[in-house]
Amino acid sequence: MSTFNLPDVGEGLTEAEIVSWKVKPGDTVAVNQVFVEIETAKSLVELPSPYAGVVKELHGAEGETLAVGAALFTVEEAGSRPAPLANVPQVADIAESDTPVASEEPGPLVGSGPKADAVKRRARTNRPAPTRPARAAGATGAPVIPAALADTISRRAAEIGQASTRLTAAAKPAVAAFVDRVLAKPPVRKVAKELGVDLTEVTGTGGQGEITRDDVLSYKSQREAERDAAPMFWSSQGVELDERIVRTPVRGVRKATAKAMVESAFTAPHVSIFVDVDASRTMEYVARLKKSRDFEGIRVSPLLVLAKAVIWAAARNPSVNASWVETENGAEIQVKHFMNLGIAAATPRGLIVPNVKEAQNLSMRELAIALNDLAETARAGKTSPADMAGGTLTVTNIGVLGIDTGTPIINPGEVAIVAFGTIRQKPWVVDGAVVPRWITTLGGSFDHRVVDGDLSARFMADVAAIMQEPALLLD
């Protein structure tokens, strides 16, 4: 028996909640097969099994919170040989007849057998030929198998069957990974993305099992019908007051977010400034990137230009890419000569801030791919603790919800955050004439212990300059 204890999957995490078990007692589990999904204070994590064998016990129920180091599940490891059967004749005794005998050890389950010149034959002896058993009356010509040989063959067949079962169990993760691949053409994937449909939940009716456009539309219609048929949000007045209140324990990502925001708001003195920006050139630049062959299949948005602008402006104003750190010898300001650009992401489990590592070294195309991967992983709830650790400066895109601006709270451990408002056409004065232009509002919050008013203004002005003229990135 081997017991696997809950590990520390992040940076000093002390507990985790069991979200869902992927196995149950009696199941066969292979090495590296995901057996449980847990939620830490930072993210949702899938744990692979370090053992292969049969699951004997699960130490915790779904929704239960376990401390790091507590027992998680117990496995009876595979590999032990069954005890020899009593009263079974030895192979050497049975081999005295001319009937072929299976070898004592099973051969490989895959691949070829031994080469012809490697076969060893039993030395012949000068003794009378053995008496062959008489054929049974009314037999069809097939020889009667001795009872001892039949017993041995049955035993060997059972052992080979068990080995085959173990092989099948070991192959399940690879088969599951293949099955999880959704078959759908790019136009269908685009429709699903626009409608907000998860293709893994749609059943394909195409000739090869692929998902068609009609499958997506049908699934969307069914979901809408289910939603329309759902009960109203407001409860009847006839229901007891206590039953009209839904209580949800604060834990996991929500608990960690709340704690971090309170600490940030009441330890770092925030100061916020705002600037309106004519982002018409940015909109034109994004349109050109979308048509470029180099960006084919890559989602491009104005957020990409803003991310590059923040990196560029931080290089010109290094103190915004820093931390205020309390040490035994007093406080110190740590200016980072690298950019781990955080992107605040709203997920069903709460707000998280994964970051793009070494963002200053990425080209525009590489940064676009990194942002897309980061967003998809966050929406799926699969962001790892490592992806959220070590951020140096954060961008939050509130414009995607149609909001003009806001006063964001600084991510703990950083001294600056930029809020990106929606881009909409507004009347704008250009060379004395009022014309429609694409306008956005940028908001920045700064830790006033590190970033003075002059520095925050220069940083925001530099970010705005890139949004107004992306060609400055070539300088």
pLDDT at 352: 85
Identify the helix (H) or strand (E) that includes residue 352.
Answer: strand 350-352
**Among 47-51, 88-92, 349-353, 391-395, which is the least confidently predicted range?**
88-92
**Among 1-15, 127-141, 257-271, which is the least confidently predicted range?**
127-141
The owner of tokens 């081999």 is 95
- Kindly indicate the confidence band of residue 384, based on its pLDDT and cuts at 50, 70 and 90: confident
Question: 20 has which bridge partners?
Answer: 37
| Residue 281 in this model has a pLDDT that exceeds 90 | yes
Structure tokens at 403: 């909001």
Q: What mean pLDDT is predicted for residues 180-196?
A: 78
> Kindly report the CA angle at 16 between 11 and 20, in degrees rounded to 5?
130
Other CB atoms within 10 A of residue 155 CB:
15
- Kindly indicate the confidence band of residue 248, based on its pLDDT and cuts at 50, 70 and 90: low
Q: Report the distance separating Cα 101 and Cα 94, nearest Å.
A: 8
pLDDT at 441: 95
pLDDT at 172: 45
Residues contacting residue 148 through CB under 8 Å, at least 6 positions apart: 88, 89, 93, 94
Share of the chain above pLDDT 70, in %: 68
Contact 342, 314 (CB under 8 A): no
Structure tokens at 433: 């004439």
Q: Report the distance separating Cα 332 and Cα 277, nearest Å.
A: 34
pLDDT at 385: 82
177-187 tens-digit pLDDT: 433 457 787 78
pLDDT at 117: 46
Q: Report the distance separating Cα 352 and Cα 30, nearest Å.
A: 32
pLDDT at 60: 87
Task: Judge whether 448 counts as a catalytic residue.
Answer: yes
- Beta strand 65-67 pairing with 330-335: unpaired
Phi, psi of 206 (to 5 degrees): -70, 170
* Alpha helix (H) residue ranges in 118-185: 147-179
Q: What is the DSSP letter of 237?
A: T
**Among 3-17, 139-153, 363-377, 397-411, which is the least confidently predicted range?**
139-153
In this predicted model, which residue has the larger pLDDT, 170 or 309? 309
Query: Number of H helices and number of E strands within the chain?
Result: 10, 18
pLDDT at 136: 46
Structure tokens at 84: 């020899």
What pTM does this model have?
Answer: 0.53
pLDDT at 442: 95
Identify the helix (H) or strand (E) that includes residue 430.
Answer: strand 424-430
In this predicted model, which residue has the larger pLDDT, 158 or 107? 158
**Among 108-122, 278-292, 333-347, which is the least confidently predicted range?**
108-122
In this predicted model, which residue has the larger pLDDT, 126 or 300? 300
Mean pLDDT, the chain, as a whole number? 77
Nearest to 423 by CA among 303, 312, 274: 303
pLDDT at 380: 80
Question: 190 has which bridge partners?
Answer: none
Nearest to 307 by CA among 470, 148, 438: 470
| CATH code at 182-247 | 4.10.320.10
Q: Report the distance separating Cα 189 and Cα 299, nearest Å.
A: 13
**Among 112-126, 195-209, 394-408, 419-433, which is the least confidently predicted range?**
112-126
Rg (alpha carbons) of the chain, rounded to whole number: 33
Structure tokens at 233: 């949000």
Structure tokens at 384: 């790892």
Contact 353, 388 (CB under 8 A): yes
| Residue 449 in this model has a pLDDT that exceeds 80 | yes
Q: What mean pLDDT is predicted for residues 299-312?
A: 94
Burial track 287-325 (b if 16+ CB lie within 10 A, e otherwise): eebeeeeebeeeebbbbbbbbbbbbbbbeebebbbbbbe
pLDDT at 69: 85
Q: Is 350 left (phi over 0), alpha (psi -120 to 50) or beta?
A: left
pLDDT at 31: 86
**Among 4-13, 379-388, 450-459, which is the least confidently predicted range?**
4-13
Domain with CATH 4.10.320.10 in the chain: 182-247
**Domain 252-474, CATH number (from 3.40.50.720, 3.30.559.10, 1.10.10.10, 1.20.1260.10):** 3.30.559.10
**Among 101-105, 286-290, 304-308, which is the least confidently predicted range?**
101-105
> Kindly report the CA angle at 150 between 144 and 154, in degrees rounded to 5?
145
Structure tokens at 185: 């053409």
Q: What mean pLDDT is predicted for residues 362-380?
A: 90
Q: What is the DSSP letter of 125?
A: -
Query: Which of 59, 270, 337, 448 is an active site residue?
Result: 448
Q: Report the distance separating Cα 258 and Cα 409, nearest Å.
A: 12
309-332 tens-digit pLDDT: 999 999 889 889 988 888 787 778
For the chain, give the longest Cα–Cα distance: 120
- Kindly indicate the confidence band of residue 238, based on its pLDDT and cuts at 50, 70 and 90: low
Domain with CATH 3.30.559.10 in the chain: 252-474
**Among 73-82, 206-215, 274-283, 437-446, which is the least confidently predicted range?**
73-82
Q: Report the distance separating Cα 341 and Cα 314, nearest Å.
A: 11
What is the CATH T-level fold of the domain 2-77, as seen in this structure?
OB fold (Dihydrolipoamide Acetyltransferase, E2P) (2.40.50)
In this predicted model, which residue has the larger pLDDT, 261 or 452? 452
In this predicted model, which residue has the larger pLDDT, 265 or 273? 273
- Kindly indicate the confidence band of residue 50, based on its pLDDT and cuts at 50, 70 and 90: confident
Contact 377, 387 (CB under 8 A): yes
Domain with CATH 2.40.50.100 in the chain: 2-77
